[in-house]
Amino acid sequence: MLQIKSYLSKIYDIKSVLLIGRTKEFQELAFWLLRKKGIEKIHYCSQEENNICSDLIEPCTLKYMPHSRKQIDAVIFDRGCREMAIDIQEIAPRFFIGRLDKEEEYFDLWEQYRQISDFIYLEREKTIWPGANREDAGSCEILEWQRGEEDVELSVILPVYNVEAYLPECIESLLKWKAPYVEYLFVNDGSVDGSADVIGRYMEQDRRIHLIDKKNGGCASARNRGIAQAKGRYLGFVDPDDFIEGSMFYQLFRRIILGNYDLAYCGYKEYYEQSGNTEKILNDCLKEPYDSGTYRQDKVQKLAVNTRVAIWRCIYKKDVIDHHQIRFHEDLKRFDDLPFRVEYIFAAKSAVCVPEYLYYYRLGRKGQDVACSDEGFFVHFSIFEHLDKYVEKFKDKAKTDLLQVIKIQTHGFALSKMKGKRKWEYWYRARQDLNKNTGYFRTLCLIMMYTGKGNLGWYTGMKLWPFKRN
Determine which of 244-248, 345-349, 374-378 has the lowest per-residue pLDDT on average: 374-378
Q: Are strands 41-46 and 16-21 parallel, antiparallel or unpaired?
A: parallel
User: What local confidence, expressed as pLDDT, does residue 91 receive?
Assistant: 87
Residue 227 has pLDDT above 90, yes or no: yes
Q: What is the 8-class DSSP label of residue 324? A: T
Determine which of 25-29, 99-103, 268-272, 409-413 has the lowest per-residue pLDDT on average: 25-29
- Angle of CA points 332, 337, 341, to nearest 5°: 130
Which domains can be identified in the chain, with CATH numbers? 2-146 (3.40.50.720), 154-371 (3.90.550.10), 375-460 (no CATH)
Closest Cα partner for 383 from 410, 347, 419? 410
More confident call, 54 vs 239:
239
Contact between 412 and 458 under an 8 Å Cβ cutoff? The reply is yes
User: What local confidence, expressed as pLDDT, does residue 411 receive?
Assistant: 95
DSSP strands (E only) in 281-376: 314-317, 351-363
What CA–CA distances, in Å, run from 396 to 343, 348, 384, 391, 400?
14, 14, 17, 8, 6
| Mean predicted confidence (pLDDT) in 292-318 | 96
Mean per-residue pLDDT over the chain, rounded: 90
Q: Give the model's confidence band at 400: pLDDT under 50 very low, under 70 low, under 90 confident, else very high.
A: very high
What CA–CA distances, in Å, run from 39 to 5, 45, 64, 67, 95?
14, 17, 22, 18, 14
CA dihedral (175, 177, 182, 187) positive or negative: negative
pLDDT digits (tens, 9 = 90+) for 153-178: 999 999 999 999 999 999 999 999 99
Helices assigned H by DSSP within 355-439: 379-392, 397-417, 423-437
Residue 255 has pLDDT above 50, yes or no: yes
Give residue 267's identity as a one-letter amino acid code: G
Q: Give the model's confidence band at 348: pLDDT under 50 very low, under 70 low, under 90 confident, else very high.
A: very high
User: What local confidence, expressed as pLDDT, does residue 366 receive?
Assistant: 39
- What's the pTM value of the predicted model, to 2 decimals? 0.92
Closest Cα partner for 185 from 131, 226, 237, 140? 226
Burial 359-376 (b: 16+ CB within 10 A, else e): bbbbeeeeeeeeeeebeb
Residue 417 has pLDDT above 50, yes or no: yes
Q: Give the model's confidence band at 323: pLDDT under 50 very low, under 70 low, under 90 confident, else very high.
A: very high
